[in-house]
Structure 1
């Protein structure tokens, strides 16, 4: 007799992996059709996921793509939650973030260490703020 594959409700897994602050927020995202499992849109929070499934969902202004590696037993600390998934969409590079900031005109936090005075000056000159 074969054992059934381990699975967990998607709303509970998203909450345990700390993508959403509450389980009801996770369930609302799923109900609104903003979550895909293996490229198939789902609308029921009771849909189960297991290791190997690929989830795509919107979180703020970003689209997250993650692969489920494990099912959690509880909602633990962030370090424990990061072990539950593999992020398939890498974060934007400094150049991509700077380009997005210059295109929108809005300030965007660039990941990484704080820029030096020389780098800040070069960035300001490239935007044309000091030329006028």
Structure 2
């Protein structure tokens, strides 16, 4: 079984702490003894900001942030933007005795604005 969510339109955040990426959340079913492979794909993301702009991405399971994160920053301190930085995060989540809510998260680095202006996806592959 595959579960899938996709963004539409332009989205951005200036938050310096994790916030949900609009449109990228779903529930995975219960299933003790098995797991779900969660894939967050941001194929055309970028950041703007005054100090090595960048973004950090994560996955929340029932509101708890996984320690597995992904992200990018610019190697140049002052740039108008980082250019496009495709970012993919993959997390394996054990299924539980009840459905779980999976939410894609993002935040800026050092005051950055992180921007998605093409479809980004959150997928779950259950075995």
Q: Tell whether the structures are fold-level matches, with TM greater than 0.5.
A: no
Q: Which has the higher strand share?
A: 2
Identify the TM-score tier after normalising by the shorter chain.
Answer: under 0.3
Q: Which has the higher helix share?
A: 1
Of structures 1 and 2, the one scoring higher in RCO (CA 8 A, sep 6+) is 2
